[in-house]
Amino acid sequence: MAIILDGARVAKEIKQQIRKEVADMHAAYYLARPPHLVTILVGNNPASQIYVRNKARDCEECGFTNETVELPEDTTRGKLLNLIVSLNKNQGVDGILCQLPLPEGLDEWAILNAIDPGKDVDCFHPENVGRLTAGRPAFKPCTPAGVMRLLAEYSIPIAGKNCVVIGRSNIVGKPMAQLLTAADGTVTICHSRTENLAAFTRNADILVSAVGRPGLVTADMVKDGAVVVDVAMNRGLDGKLCGDVDFDTVQEKASYITPVPGGVGPMTRAMLMENLFKAAMR
């Protein structure tokens, strides 16, 4: 039976540690004020509203201040860009986060490009993506960084291991593969066009699934003793949150496994807080 990679516990500890460091830095006059995050929420996407509320709660737990700018669904590109320009200039703002997805018609690429790379705590700006590729990250993308931290917390070795990442999105799959490569893993990326997915996953010592399809990863696709990380967050037919991995059967074969919820999700949020603290210290 696999050991559960308890992201909720680890994330809580990370946030407590950040809170202490913020207080120490403030007491030592390295920080004149608490780190400040501005989140921009455009439109009424219910999932986005929950994510934004959670981030605000995380900020409070870490001793940070935060503000959410809510804009209507029909916000123009010009108005959004003007807001970002003013936040870029505002020295009281350390991190700017534009909650995705944006309503149809708003060009995400243009909007993310406009954020000052030094305040880009999501690590989506091309400069930060490039720095990551070059092995000189300013910030690390929150979800893959959360996975790496979780593996480290459980002393799971990566060097020389066969790592298979299912999914190649800019937000999760690609940077996940980069971080595993940087940690000396031998990395394979699979995606929707991969032929015979199971042939790859069965070879994985560390399997990371980031697709968004409940039941995609079944026990027969997993090697005995593999470490299985489920990034996905789906709603199952019963309405409950679930990942890509058939948890009940796969946990019988894996050595370590993340639950959904309580695995990668809280780690992603904790890494955002680390990035914000880093942005403020810079």
Among 34, 117, 141, 167, contact with ligand NAP (rule: CB under 6 A) = 167
Cα(172)–Cα(119) distance, rounded to whole angstroms? 20
**Which residues are 69's β-sheet partners?**
40
Min separation Cβ 7 and ligand NAP, Å: 9
SS3 label, residue 242: strand
Would residue 55 show up in a list of annotated catalytic residues for this protein? Answer: yes
Stretch that binds ligand NAP, among 29-37, 57-65, 124-132, 169-177 (CB under 6 A): 169-177
Q: Which helix (H) or strand (E) segment is 189 a member of?
A: strand 186-190
Let me know: does 154 contact 267? Beta carbons within 8 Å. no
How does DSSP classify residue 219? Answer: G
Would residue 15 show up in a list of annotated catalytic residues for this protein? Answer: no
Q: Which long-range contacts (CB under 8 A, 24 or more apart) does 129-138 make?
A: 129/170, 129/175, 132/175, 132/178, 133/178, 135/182
262 lines the binding site for ligand NAP (CB under 6 A):
no
Among 84, 97, 158, 172, contact with ligand NAP (rule: CB under 6 A) = 172
Per the residue annotation, which of 6, 94, 116, 122 is the catalytic one? 122
Amino acid sitting at position 31: L
31 lines the binding site for ligand NAP (CB under 6 A):
no
272 lines the binding site for ligand NAP (CB under 6 A):
no
Contacts of 190 (CB under 8 A, 6+ apart): 164, 165, 166, 167, 197, 200, 201
45 lines the binding site for ligand NAP (CB under 6 A):
no
Cα(156)–Cα(268) distance, rounded to whole angstroms? 18
Cα(227)–Cα(206) distance, rounded to whole angstroms? 5
8 lines the binding site for ligand NAP (CB under 6 A):
no
Let me know: does 95 contact 37? Beta carbons within 8 Å. yes
- For ligand NAP, the closer of residues 93 and 98 by Cβ is 98
Phi and psi of 259, rounded to 5°?
-85, 160
Min separation Cβ 269 and ligand NAP, Å: 7
Token pair 């909720």: residue = 8
Would residue 122 show up in a list of annotated catalytic residues for this protein? Answer: yes
Among 106, 171, 226, 254, contact with ligand NAP (rule: CB under 6 A) = 171
44 lines the binding site for ligand NAP (CB under 6 A):
no
Among 52, 268, 271, 272, contact with ligand NAP (rule: CB under 6 A) = 268
18 lines the binding site for ligand NAP (CB under 6 A):
no
96 lines the binding site for ligand NAP (CB under 6 A):
no
Among 166, 180, 254, 257, contact with ligand NAP (rule: CB under 6 A) = 166
Find the binding residues for ligand NAP in span 202-241 (CB under 6 A).
210-213, 231-234
Token pair 């039941």: residue = 215
Q: What is the Cα 1 distance to its own chain's centre?
A: 27
- What x-and-dash track marks residues 114-153 binding ligand NAP by CB under 6 A? -----------------------------x----------
Residues labelled as active-site residues: 55, 99, 122
Residues forming the site for ligand NAP (CB under 6 A)? 143, 166-169, 171-173, 190-194, 197, 210-213, 231-234, 264-265, 268
